[in-house]
Amino acid sequence: MADSEKQVREAPSNFKSKVWAHFGFYNTDDGKTLDKDYAICKNCLAKVKYNGNTTNMHSHLVRHHPDLASEEKTAGSQPTIDSVFKAKLPIASPRAASITKSIAGFICKDLRPYSVVENEGFRRMLTTLEPRYEVPSRRYFTDKAIPALYAETRAKVEDALKSAERVALTCDGWTSRATESYVTITAHFIDNNWELQSYVLQTRVMHESHTGAHMAEVLEKATEEWKLTGKEPAVVTDNASNMSVAVEMTGYQHIRCFAHVLNLASQRALKLTAVARLLGRVRRISVFFHRSTPAADALKRNQRMLGLAPHKLITDVVVRWNSAYEMLSRFLEQQPAVTAALLSPEVRRNVADISTLTEADISNAEEVVQALKPMLVATKSMCEEKSPTISVIAPLHAQLLSDTVSTIEDSPLVKEIKRTIHEDLSKRYKSTEEKNILYVASALDPRFKSMLFLSPPDVQETYAKVVSKAAALMEDADVGMETDDDEEGGSTEQSAAADDTSDDNENDPHTPKKRKSALADLLGQTFKDTRAPLLSPTSIAEKEVKQYQDAPPLPLSDDPLAWWKSQAHSYPLLAKLAQRYLCVPGTSVSAERIFSTAGDIITSQRSALTSEHADQLLFLKKNMP
């Protein structure tokens, strides 16, 4: 039978492509099955080789029936990539919500103005990264996205604070560039993994004057709002009188920031006439090299010639005493290059009244740097981010008092510097309460437990306080302590608990009383219970303290919290006590870093930023992972 006489049969129903509307198959010669070697075009009866796919058929339509190919493409084609990416993501979709949350985190973590979401470059970048995402409005971030992120993060902080054995607070005020006064409070505690944690709790605008009463009110409201009153908070502040009054009014434990103590003593030394005059001359030279391009170029040239490091000179900042130290140190390092630069013709031609230091000035500068070096080392150690706690204050304070005692080899200038610093340091931490706090904290730091900076009677008295506090902790918390069964005279409180249970059962009307046996009547006095009495909380505490004192001290470079993490099972009472003392920071400097950050928040771009938004931004900046 000729092909023209054959009937084109429909393709099987499982052939889903739209192209089969235009193609079918002939039957085989026996007429019972379809001949699938060739697809037959229904429009022109052309045979198209069929290989199991529709490519050849599509090509046939495009070549011979373009109008049908266009209809087929329109009716049956998949959405193009462009059309898919032109469809906008719903704002509540997981993908859009994730991007929005990331933008909110970016604003807070990098302290960007809310208006960044309206910037053309920012929007163009997001369109490139995710064309389907539509950036919400600025108001959406201020009213919804960032408050939601704040609520989520706050819940995590509250949960973390619940597990704290004790919480310490740092509290201080700062002023924004818009001249508004704020107070920021930060909490510190040691978690169950013996990691020191710090969280910014809140930032509040202070419309009233910073009196002690107002500061006390802020502190009390914060502890109530964050449910910290039961955590026996200790408060670390600077040496301002209003802060001392505020903490005293709250009744909380007060520790003065050791970094501020060091700054006050060092500032007094810098104000000595000879030192101030020297600093003035060095400062003038430093400022000159910063402002004069020819002088800066001459300095670089002479640094290369003399093989000196290409460091710029440093100009001090009034409020940071260590910047004056750094200014002198840098000048001494670069002094040959500075002298050569000042003598170069191109520099002398422009400025005639700038001269380098004399030999006597250089000698004095070296003496000042050497005399202040212990103060610099102490200041740097106190300003580390994760440490130190108050346990380092007493040993550092004692060491500095020793280092500032004049020796016969000291020059008159060095003696005057040491005397000034020594007198100022001697006035600090003199109250009995402050000493007790600092000494107990040092005793609980395995690096300083030998207490070599104290006299033997003071060491004995300090450890007696440790025993008393540990025993009280056991009594108050009803800690289930155990003594070793294999030690002489030892017994367990678990057995005591069993005995107590037996006694309770005897008094319980629902528990049948055991009848006293005849054997018990006859031999009861001879074979009575001879177990040793339970150790008292004081005895248990004394035992732990003795073992702790006998253990080798921890090297100064090691982490005391890591030591306690590994040894807490050996000293369960002292470990609890250590958590309560070592969580207290020795300085509020880490909190003041927040203030320097916070001061950048309220700028001309953020003039309309409310105090609530400032609080949220700082909170998220410091507390987001």
So what's the pLDDT on residue 489? Answer: 41
Q: Is residue 509 part of a domain?
A: no
CA 65/CA 43 separation, integer angstroms: 9
Q: What is the mean pLDDT of residues 411-422?
A: 97
Omega before residue 388 within 30° of 0, cis: yes
pLDDT in tens, 485-534: 444 444 434 333 334 443 444 444 444 444 555 555 545 555 555 555 67
As for how many domains the chain has, the answer is 4
331 and 362 fall within a common domain = yes
On whether the CB atoms of residues 440 and 461 are closer than 8 A, the answer is no
- Token digits for 170? 């740092």
143 and 278 fall within a common domain = no
- The last residue of one of the domains, among 415, 430, 445, is 430
581 and 592 fall within a common domain = no
Q: Is residue 514 part of a domain?
A: no
277 and 360 fall within a common domain = yes
Q: Is residue 542 part of a domain?
A: yes
Tell me phi and psi for residue 7, to 5 degrees: -100, 130
pLDDT in tens, 536-582: 889 999 999 999 999 999 999 899 999 999 999 999 999 999 999 99
CA 456/CA 469 separation, integer angstroms: 20
181 and 94 fall within a common domain = yes
DSSP string over 201-233: EEEEE--S---HHHHHHHHHHHHHHTT-GGG--
On whether the CB atoms of residues 269 and 372 are closer than 8 A, the answer is yes
- Could you tell me the pTM of the whole model? 0.75
Lay out the sheet containing 168-175: strands in order across: 196-205, 181-190, 168-175, 234-237, 253-256
pLDDT in tens, 584-624: 999 886 544 544 554 455 444 444 567 888 899 999 999 99
- Indicate the residue type of 299: L
373 and 408 fall within a common domain = yes
pLDDT in tens, 430-469: 999 999 999 999 999 999 999 999 999 999 999 999 999 9
Q: Is residue 516 part of a domain?
A: no
Q: Is residue 160 part of a domain?
A: yes
**Measuring CA to CA, how many Å separate 526 from each of 441, 491, 503, 520, 540?**
50, 21, 22, 10, 31
Q: Closest by alpha carbon to 294, among 364, 336, 239, 349?
A: 349
On whether the CB atoms of residues 310 and 271 are closer than 8 A, the answer is no
- The last residue of one of the domains, among 381, 405, 430, is 430
Q: Is residue 519 part of a domain?
A: no
Between strands 47-49 and 253-256, the pairing is unpaired
pLDDT in tens, 2-48: 666 678 888 887 887 888 888 888 887 777 777 888 888 888 888 88
CA 36/CA 52 separation, integer angstroms: 9
Its domain, for residue 567, covers: 433-489+533-585
CA 61/CA 512 separation, integer angstroms: 99
pLDDT in tens, 376-394: 999 888 876 566 689 999 9
Q: Is residue 494 part of a domain?
A: no
CA 224/CA 232 separation, integer angstroms: 12
Q: Closest by alpha carbon to 269, among 369, 349, 190?
A: 369
Q: How confident is the model at residue 312 (pLDDT cuts 50, 70, 90)?
A: very high
On whether the CB atoms of residues 449 and 466 are closer than 8 A, the answer is no
Range of lowest pLDDT (116-125, 234-243, 268-277): 234-243
Q: Is residue 464 part of a domain?
A: yes
pLDDT in tens, 76-88: 555 555 554 567 8
- Indicate the residue type of 223: T
On whether the CB atoms of residues 6 and 26 are closer than 8 A, the answer is yes
- Token digits for 282? 């060095």
Tell me phi and psi for residue 102, to 5 degrees: -65, -40
- Count the alpha carbons within 13 Å of 135 in the hemisphere toward its beta carbon: 22
On whether the CB atoms of residues 385 and 590 are closer than 8 A, the answer is yes
